[in-house]
Amino acid sequence: MNPEPPKDVVVDDKKINISNGDVNGTVVKLDDQLGAGFSDVEMKKIISEKKEDCSLNSVEVNKIGESNAKEVNHQIQSNGTNCYNNYMPAIKAQAHFPKPQPPPQPQPELERSQSVSPAESMPSIGKYIKDRSTTLSAAIIKRLSSLTEDGQDFVVKNDSLNLEVTEIKIPGVKVIVKLKSEDERFDLKGRITFFSRSNCRDCTAVRKCFREKRLPYVEINIDVFPKRAKELVERTGKSEVPQIFFNEKLLGGLVTLNSLRNSGELDKRMRELLSQKCPDGAPKVPVYGFDDDEDEEEEEEKDELLGIVKLLRQSLPIQDRLIKMKIVKNCFAGDDMLEVIIHHLDCGRKKGIETGRQLAQKHFIKHVFGENDFEEGRHFYRFLEHEPFITACFNFRISVNDGEPKSPSFLADKLARLMTAILEAYASDDRHHVDYYRIGKSEEFRRYLNLTRDLQRVDLQLLSPDERLAFFLNLYNAMAIHAVITIGHPEGILDRRAFFGDFQYVIGGYPYSLSVIQNGILRNNRKSPYSLVRPFGNGDRRLKFAPAKVNPLIHFGLCNGTRSSPTVRFFTAQGVEGELRGAAREYFQNGAIEINLDKRTVSLTRIIKWFSVDFGQEKDVLRWVMNYLDTTRAGLLTHLLSDGGPIHFVYQDYDWAGNL
């Protein structure tokens, strides 16, 4: 019996004719998991109808039924070089999907002593699968033809793009919709390139325009690639950014781009200038190894004490010793080092001791128990690369950086600019979603890793209080990104311990984990939640970098890569206090506090419960939070606090899932 004739199905206000498995504008693929055999039915595009301009990076599929058996995630690939990608869950299979029955097969009569060999049974198996596929295909087409009568359509939405696509609900069928990108519609063969800087509003507007139109582009951030600034001036005659190029032709800046968009001439100009393959004269794509002479020039400046250090490494008897009833590994005696220095420099004892102190202050050597920098007598020291913690530090690569330590202000500023550029390129506009995979593969991140080596022997005492605050906030957020890329998001208690406690950098000769930065430095050596001990013991030299007073705003400037944490951002030393207030305001206005006036209940982020010692009593917290709320919520809190009645506090669950 032939199946019912196919009918038209409405998708996104357009008719879809279903015939022999063909669906306009969609690809439908079936996985039969109901029997031993299976059949794939692929419905391909049969028209090239133009779609209106839109950006579809991801779609979120509504639940189809309570009997759904499994869910498969599919990533809609984006052609854009700097577009953010999300994932689309596939349609779930339903139990009421008609289970096709194979046609009856005549079975040969066999005697007990007979058996059928695999070779003899193969034709029967092939025929069985073929007949089963035919029956299943007929059932699918019949099911499709009845969908419009049953009214079983569903809606796929992407709220962030204000986009709605109507699709067909087919149990057991995966439906994927992919809209053509701008370059596919225009058949663009060239390359769009633009020069930018970090924290530039005009550059952000250009980037947003290209993302909305789903246009692939190459961004050259001259804060990341400083040598390209000279090329920018040579090509444009100016140093201002953004500057946009279509192949080798200069289009202009944001004003020109907006003018072309408003006049409707942008598409025409793109067809004219990007219809040909990008020539060699166009700006080059930043790749691994490009512009590395910048790094080489910076590393050429060697530390003036390096010659003495190399001699000491070769001359001193480095061995394990029993000191104060403890086994101390890879150490040497201070008086042995002093004799080598005096002999090498041909100087007096006083000069030798001063040189030893300079080596300690530059973090080449460390007292095994941290008792002094360097003193004459029977004390024991070891080189920084022999410290027990050093191999656990993720900014340590085989050997210590022997270059002259750079200014901490320079490194702090470069760190902030570099990581800001990374977020602008590989995070969503609202910073709620971060593409860790693409960050880990990027040239920008490779340069960040190179920068972290310069932190090994940096002198943090040269930073002002505001510079130090911004530096540790930025370092925490950068290390969290590095930790996610390296060891992944923490899923349980043990994973969180490794994530916050074991992932470390060596900074200025000392180890710093995420927990040490947050609780030891920014919180002035206060216990972390559910911990019985403080991060630093008495006499720990890292305590001198902690602020005199804890600022509770720091909790809204730290992002640990989870959905419930504040959005990731990087701060400037000049405006860190105001930027922290802005971060707190954004966090509370995005759901960190909910107020129910009828039940007299206030629901707060669990961060406040964990770090309650930093915020004070609960009613004091409400008065403090009021400074960061909109007028409506501030009014509700004022009413609750002023009438003298009881207020019930509830703390929200913390979502540890990654901010992907």
DSSP annotation string for 609-656: HHTHHHH-SHHHHHHHHGGGS-HHHHHHHHHHHHS----EEEEPPP--
Q: Are strands 601-604 and 648-651 parallel, antiparallel or unpaired?
A: parallel
Element (H, E) at 511: strand 510-513
So what's the pLDDT on residue 303? 82
Q: pTM for this structure? A: 0.72
pLDDT value, residue 645: 87
Amino acid identity, residue 361?
Q
CATH assignment, 192-275: 3.40.30.10
Low pLDDT (below 50) residues in the chain? 1-100, 106-122, 148-165, 293-299
Domain with CATH 1.10.10.10 in the chain: 304-388
Residue of 255, 280, 260 lying closest to 270 (CA atoms): 260
The single-letter DSSP state of residue 562 is: B
Quick check: helix, strand or coil at residue 133?
helix
Which token pair is 205?
């507007």
Spatial neighbors of 628 by CB under 8 A, at least 6 apart, are 581, 584, 585, 587, 588, 589
- Say how many C-beta atoms besides its own lie within 10 A of residue 436's C-beta: 22
pLDDT at 143: 57
Asked whether 534 and 526 are in contact (CB, 8 A), the reply is yes
Between CA 368 and CA 347 the distance in angstroms is 26
The rounded distance, in Å, linking the Cα atoms of 25 and 179 is: 8
CA dihedral 641, 642, 647, 653 (to 10 degrees): -30
Closest Cα to residue 123, out of 100, 101, 106?
A: 106
Place of tokens 């954004």: 586
pLDDT at 112: 39
pLDDT at 13: 45
pLDDT of residue 399: 87
**pLDDT tens, 430-441?**
999 999 999 999
Gap between the Cα atoms of 644 and 164, Å rounded: 48
Q: CA 514, CA 474: separation in Å to the nearest integer?
A: 11
Quick check: 229 and 181 in contact, CB under 8 A? no
How many other C-beta atoms are found inside a 10 Å radius of the C-beta of residue 12?
17
Cβ 246 vs Cβ 192: under 8 Å: yes
- Edge-first strand listing for the sheet containing 60-61: 60-61, 153-158, 163-168
Residues of the chain with CATH 3.40.30.10: 192-275
Long-range contacts of 641-650 (CB under 8 A, 24+ apart): 645/600, 646/600, 647/600, 647/601, 647/602, 647/618, 647/619, 647/622, 648/599, 648/600, 648/601, 648/602, 649/601, 649/602, 649/604, 649/618, 650/601, 650/602, 650/603, 650/604
- Assess contact for 462 and 408: CB atoms under 8 A: yes
Structure confidence at residue 583 (pLDDT): 97
pLDDT in tens, 295-310: 444 445 778 899 999 9
Q: What gap in Å lies between CA 277 and CA 266, rounded to an integer?
A: 19
Length of the chain: 660
- The CATH number of 304-388 is 1.10.10.10
pLDDT of residue 60: 41
Q: Six-digit token pair at 415?
A: 């760190």
Residue 210 and residue 424 in contact, taking contact as beta carbons nearer than 8 Å: no
3-state secondary structure 308-345: HHHHHHHHCCCEEEEECCEEEEEEEEHHHHHHHHHHHH
Burial degree of 470 (CB within 10 A; 0-12, 13-18, 19+): buried
Residue 498 class from Cβ within 10 Å (0-12 exposed, 13-18 middle, 19+ buried)? middle
